[in-house]
């Protein structure tokens, strides 16, 4: 994979860092001149992935979340959010709309559905007690190029 530019950001699993993750992604992607809608979509998908790591991955425990953002050829954006939390035993079930592991917290169970709707590709790799890696890709339009 040819990488034109890349940034890596590591943060503790605190819900306040969801905003930091959105800001980091936005600041980095400005160089690619995305549309406002594209940037909003990406920020929302990142927010959902980080929220999942905080709420479900670490379940009120502390740990690190790693965010990697890459600019690839042909205006493709690659984003990876990785945690070393509890992991997901059944990824297929976890990706079903309305499924949540935290119903007592009134979670909607739409995180993965939101990510899928805003990004072109979504891949989830996970193993119990090993953590979860969410990889997303989106091709930016040619509006300003």
Q: Long-range contacts for 93-101 (Cβ within 8 Å, ≥24 apart)? A: 94/124, 95/124, 100/56, 101/56
Q: Is 48 a catalytic residue?
A: yes
Which residue out of 66, 107, 137, 139 is catalytically annotated? 107
Which residue out of 52, 70, 75, 80 is catalytically annotated? 52
Cα radius of gyration rounded to whole Å, the chain? 15
Q: Is 52 a catalytic residue?
A: yes
Residue the block writes with tokens 């709707």: 117
- What gap in Å lies between CA 12 and CA 85, rounded to an integer? 12
Q: Is 80 a catalytic residue?
A: no
The residues with which 139 forms a beta bridge, in sequence order, are 76
Which residue out of 17, 18, 38, 48 is catalytically annotated? 48
Residue the block writes with tokens 């193993």: 127
Q: Which residues of 107-132 are buried (b: 16+ CB within 10 A; e: fewer)?
A: bebebbbbbbebbeebebebeeeebb
Catalytic positions, written as ranges: 48, 52, 107
């Amino acid at each position: 994979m040819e990488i034109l530019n890349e940034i890596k950001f590591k943060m503790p699993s605190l819900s306040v860092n969801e905003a930091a993750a959105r800001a980091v992604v936005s600041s980095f992607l400005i160089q690619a001149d995305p549309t406002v809608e594209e940037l909003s979509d990406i920020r929302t998908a990142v927010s959902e992935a980080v929220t999942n790591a905080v709420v479900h991955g670490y379940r009120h425990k502390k740990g690190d979340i790693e965010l990697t953002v890459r600019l690839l050829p042909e205006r493709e954006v690659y984003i990876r959010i990785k945690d070393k939390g509890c992991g997901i035993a059944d990824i297929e079930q976890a990706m079903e709309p309305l499924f949540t592991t935290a119903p007592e917290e009134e979670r909607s169970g739409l995180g993965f559905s939101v990510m899928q709707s805003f990004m072109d590709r979504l891949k989830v790799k996970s193993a119990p007690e090993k953590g979860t890696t969410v990889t997303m890709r989106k091709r930016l339009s040619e509006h300003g190029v």
